[in-house]
Amino acid sequence: MHILLVEDDANLSRFIEKSLMEAGHKVISTDNGKHALSMCMTEQYDVAIIDRMLPGLDGLSLVKALRASQVEMPILFLTALGGVDDRVEGLEAGADDYLTKPFAFSELLARLSALSRRSSQLNSKNEGLLQFGDVTLNLYEFSASRQGQDLGLQTKEFRILELFMRNPGRVITRTMLLEHVWDIHFDPQTSVVETHISRLRNKLEKPFGDQLIQTVRGAGYKLEYKEKKSTQ
């Protein structure tokens, strides 16, 4: 499994990460709620382990933000807040499971495996497909279509559209695009992003007479249907 661990106790985080890796899993960790939210917008995880008490953005707010952004990965709260009201609050916020500290690692591992199995069963029918309105992205076939028509996207255009379709309605910054599509972690001060966005728009929008990729001035872009203005 590809696991996101969000825990601000450094010693506990190291223990969990080491133990999960020894069990054969890939683990990415952060100690900050805001960082975790940003990471989930650009990377896909099989399951997340999230503490309730975090700097930047508390765990409860983080889970609510993820669910509001249509991030559907299974989430396990791992926290010292173990009261009945705390557990109910966490589950109602969108978590799939709740484990209190102190805990046995064997139980944590078993719960993660159960969440992963459940998620795989629910998503098996639509695995590899992303959908936004009349736009379909097939991750296995590396193809994109709109209204049944193949868009003929190049590799970079496909990856840009994939990032947008994983985050519909959310602002995608130039930095996020550079990191996700080009694996560049600094701004090279070129027009490469703008050039590829323009090419994607020509294929995704121009033949269909509307606009899906909206420019957010001073921030970036977002994938969102824009109502056509009445000509009357």
Residues of the chain with CATH 1.10.10.10: 129-223
- What distance, in Å, lies between the first and last C-alpha atoms of the chain? 55
Look up the CATH architecture of domain 2-125.
Answer: 3-Layer(aba) Sandwich (3.40)
The count of C-alpha atoms lying within 13 angstroms of the C-alpha of 178, restricted to the half-sphere facing its C-beta, is 14
Domain 129-223, CATH number (from 3.40.50.720, 2.60.120.10, 1.10.10.10, 1.20.58.100): 1.10.10.10
pLDDT tens string 39-48: 888 788 889 9
pTM of the model: 0.56
pLDDT tens string 185-225: 777 788 999 999 999 999 999 999 889 999 999 899 999 87
pLDDT at 231: 41
Residues of the chain with CATH 3.40.50.2300: 2-125
